[in-house]
Structure 1
Amino acid sequence: MTITQLHYVLAVAEYQNFTKAAQKVFVTQPTLSMQIQKLEEELEVQIFDRTKKPIELTEVGKKIVTQARNIVNESDRIQDIVHQQKGFIGGEFKLGIIPTIMPTLLPMFLTNFIKKYPKVKLKIEELNTEAIIERLQDGHLDAAIAATPLEQENIKEKPLYYEPFVAYTPPGHRLSKKDKIKPEELEVDDILLLEDGHCFKEGILNICKSHQNTEKSSFHLESGSFETLIKLSNEGLGMTLLPYLHTLDLSEKENKNLRMFEEPSPAREVSLIYHKSELKMQIIEALQEIISGVVRGAVTFQNIKIISPLQKK
C-alpha cells in the first residue's frame, strides 16, 4: 500500500469516474486503474463497485476512503513541518469565502497578501457556508472565511473581526427619522432579505423581535445581492440590513439612509476557519495577520454585541 495509491482512490471516490480521476492526478487511466486494482488485491476487498454508473464505493470502500483521507492528510503534514522549519510560506492554497463577505473583504486584503507572500498560489472560491463545511471536511479546501460560530467538531475557528449590522432606511420609512435604532424596533415583515442559503439572513432574523408571518405583507421578496436590496429599498419597498464593510462603498446619497444601532450594536463574528488537522498553518496564520491588519482600521466600533445566528446555511 502506498500514499500514491491512496491519492488515486480518493480521486476516483470524488469523481466517480476513472478517466476524470486520472486527469485530476495527472496519470493515464490504465495506470490509475492498475494501481487501484493492485491495492484491492493486496487488501482482498473491492473498494469500488464498477458495475454501477457512475462508479460507487462499496460499504468497505467507504470506510477505506475515510481512513485514506486521514492518512493522506497526515502525510501532507510532513511537508508542512519541513516548510515551517525552513520558514517557507508558499505553494497552492485553496480558500473559500461566503458571498456576503467576499465582495467587500477580498479587495481589502488580496493585493497586500500577494505582495507579501508571492510564493503562495491562492485559489479562491465563493461558496455558501454549507458547501464550505463539506469541502473543509473532505479536504477540498485548506481554509475559509465565514460567519461564526459554526459549532462543527472537526473545524477550528480564528476570529478575524466583528462586523456591525447597519440599517438602510429610505426616506419616508418609519425608522428614517431616528438617529439610531434599537433591535426591538425591527419588524421582519418590513425587511428585504437575502435569499435562503445566506447565513446573513439568519443573523437578521435572529435580531428581529419576532418572526412574523410574511404572508401578512402585500408582497415578500428575497434577493441574492445587497445591491438589489438597496435598489428596492430606494423604491420604497422596505428597509434592509447591511454588513458594515458593505456600506463603505455606498454613494454619498445612499449614506444618508444609513442608521446605526444603539450600543451595544448587534454584529456578526467573521472568522478564518480550517480543519482540525491544521495543515498549512503557516499560510493560515499569514492570512489572519494580513486580514486582521487591514480590517482593524475599518471596523472601529466598541462594545459590539455578538449575534450568534444559525450558521448552517
Structure 2
Amino acid sequence: MTITQLRYVLAVAEHQNFTKAAEKTFVTQPTLSMQIQKLEEELDILIFDRSKKPIELTDVGKKLVQQARNIVNESERIQDIVDQQKGFIGGEFKIGVIPTIMPTLLPMFLNNFIKKYPKVKLKIEELTTEAIVERLLDGHLDAAIAATPLENESIKERVLYYEPFVGYIPSNHRLNQKKNIDISDLNVDDMLLLEDGHCFRDGILNLCKTQKGFDEDHFQLESGSFETLVKLSNEGLGMTLLPYLHTLDINPNEKEYLHYFNEPSPAREVSLIFNKSELKMHIIDALHSTIAGVVKGAITFQNVQIISPLSKAKSD
C-alpha cells in the first residue's frame, strides 16, 4: 500500500470517474486504474462499485476513504515540519471567504500579506459558510474566513476580530431621530435583509427572533448585496443592518443615516478557521497575525454581544 495509491482512491471518490481522477492527479487513466486495482487485490476488497454510473464507493470503500484522507493529511504534515524547520513560508494556500466579508476585509490585508510573504501563492475563493465547511473537511481548502462559532468539532477557529452591526436608517424611518438604537427597537416588518444563504442574514434573524411578534417570513424585500440594501433603504423601503467594516466605505452623504447600538453592541465574531488536522500551520499563523494586526486599528469596539451565525434551525 502506498500514499500515491491512496491519493488515487481519494481522487476517484471525489470525481466518481476514473478518467477525471486521472486528469486531476496527472497520470494516465490505465495507470490510475491499475494502482487502485492493485490496492484492492492487496486488501482483498472492492473499494468502488464500477457497475454504477457514476461510480460509487462500496460500504467498506467509504470507511477506507475516511482513513485514507487522514493518512494523506498526515503525510503532508512531514513537509510542514521541514518547511517550519527551515523557516520557509511559501507554496500554494487555498482559502475561502464568505461574501459579506470578502469585499471589505480583503483590500485591508492582502497587499500587506503578499509583500511580507511573497513565496505564498494564495488562491482565494468566495464561498458560503456551508460550502466552506464542506471543502475544509474534504481537504479542498487549507483555511477560511467566516463568521463563528460554527459548533463543528472537526474545525478549529481562531478569532480575528469582533465586528459590530450598525443600523442604516433613512430620514423617513421611525427610528431616524434616535441617536443610538437598541435591539428592542428592531422590527422585522420594516427591515431589509440579505437573501437566504447568507450567514449575516441568519445572525440578524437570531438577533430579532426574541422580539415580540417575530415572523421569519414577514420581510418586505431581500437582496444579494449590502449596496442594494442601502439603495432600497434610501428609497424609503425600510432600514437595514450593515457590518461595521462596510460602513467605512459608505458615501459621505449617507453616513448621517448610520446609527450605532447602545452597548453591548450586537456583533459577529469573525475567525480564521481550518481543519483540525492543522496542516500548513505556519501559513495560518502568518495570515492570522497579518489580518488581526490590520483590523485591530479599524475596529475599536470593546463591549460587544456575539450573535450566532448559525441558522435558526441549527441554533435551536
Does TM, scored on the shorter chain, surpass 0.5? yes
Pairwise CA distance, 1:310: 1.8
- Matching residue of 1:112: 112
Query: Share of identical aligned residues, percent?
Result: 76
Alignment of structure 1 residues 120-131 onto 2, 5 Å: 120-131=120-131
**What's the counterpart of residue 272 of structure 1?**
272
Corresponding position of 1:53: 53
What is residue 93 of structure 1 aligned with on the other side? Answer: 93
Amino acid at match of 1:29: Q
Q: In the alignment, does 2:164 pair up with 1:164? A: yes
Partner of 1:258: 258
Give the corresponding residue for 1:291. Answer: 291
8 Å Cα contact 2:263-2:303 kept in structure 1:
yes
Q: Contact 2:95–2:144 (CA<8 Å) still a contact in 1?
A: yes
CA RMSD of aligned residues (A): 1.4
Q: Distance in 1 between matches of 2:13 and 2:216?
A: 43
**1:110-136 deviation digits (Å, cap 9, x = unpaired):** 111111111111111111111111111
Q: Is the 8 A contact 1:5 1:36 kept in 2?
A: yes
Tell me the distance in 1 between the aligned counterparts of 2:241 and 2:286: 31
- 5 Å matches for 1:71-220? 71-208=71-208, 209-210=210-211, 212-213=214-215, 220=220
Show structure 2 runs of 5+ residues with no match. Answer: none
Using the alignment, how far apart are the partners of 1:249 and 1:286 within structure 2?
A: 27
C-alpha distance in 2, partners of 1:104/1:30? 47
Amino acid corresponding to residue 269 of structure 1 in structure 2:
E
Whether 2:25 is the aligned partner of 1:25: answer: yes
Indicate the residue corresponding to 2:223 in structure 1: 223
Structure 2 Cα separation of the partners of residues 275 and 247 of structure 1: 32
Amino acid at match of 1:35: Q
> SS state of the match for residue 242, structure 2?
strand
Q: Using the alignment, how far apart are the partners of 2:264 and 2:216 within structure 1? A: 28
**Paired residue type of 1:213:** D
Distance 2:38 2:154 in 1: 32
Counterpart amino acid of residue 302 in structure 1: Q
Which deviates more, 1-10 or 51-60?
51-60
User: In the TM superposition, what is the alpha-carbon distance from 1:215 to its structure 2 partner?
Assistant: 6.0
What SS class does the counterpart of residue 249 from structure 1 fall into? Answer: coil
* Most deviating of 237-246 and 220-229: 220-229
Using the TM superposition, give the Cα deviation of residue 213 of structure 1 relative to its aligned residue in structure 2, in angstroms.
2.7
Question: Over residues 140-194 of structure 1, what are the superposed CA-to-partner deviations in whole Å (9 max), with x where a residue is unaligned?
Answer: 1111000001110111100000000000001110011111101110011211111
For 1:169 and 1:15, the matched residues in 2 are separated by 48
Runs of 4+ in 1 over 4 A off after TM superposition: none
CA shift, 1:214, in A, is: 5.9
TM-score (norm 2): 0.95
CA contact (8 A) 2:183 2:207 kept: yes
**Is the Cα contact below 8 Å between 1:113 and 1:287 reproduced in 2?**
yes
Deviations 1:10-64 (A, max 9, x none): 0010011111111111111111111111111111111111111111111111011
* SS at 1:278 equivalent: coil
Kindly indicate whether the alpha-carbon contact (under 8 Å) linking 1:144 and 1:274 is maintained by their aligned counterparts in 2. Answer: yes
Instruction: Name the CA shift for 1:215/1:129 in 2 (closer, same or farther; >3 Å).
Output: closer
Task: Supply the distance in 1 between the matched residues of 2:216 and 2:100 (Cα, whole angstroms).
Answer: 23
CA–CA distance in structure 2, aligned partners of residues 140 and 214 of structure 1 = 34
Q: What SS does the corresponding residue of 2:248 show, helix, strand or coil?
A: helix
What is the rounded CA distance, in whole Å, between the counterparts of 1:214 and 1:62 in structure 2? Answer: 39
* Partner in structure 2 of residue 12 of structure 1: 12
* Conserved? CA contact 2:191–2:220, under 8 Å: no
Determine if contact 2:97/2:124 at 8 Å carries over to the other structure: yes
In structure 1, distance between residues paired with 2:70 and 2:63:
11
Given the superposition, is the C-alpha separation of residues 201 and 64 from structure 1 closer, same or farther in structure 2, using an over 3 Å criterion? same
Give me the whole-angstrom Cα distance separating, in 1, the residues matched to 2:216 and 2:8.
50
2:60 maps to a residue whose letter is V
Closer/same/farther in 2, CA of residues 238 and 34 from structure 1, 3 Å limit? same
- Indicate the SS of the match to 2:269: strand
Contact 1:189–1:214, Cα closer than 8 Å, also in 2: no
Q: Secondary structure at the match of 1:159?
A: strand
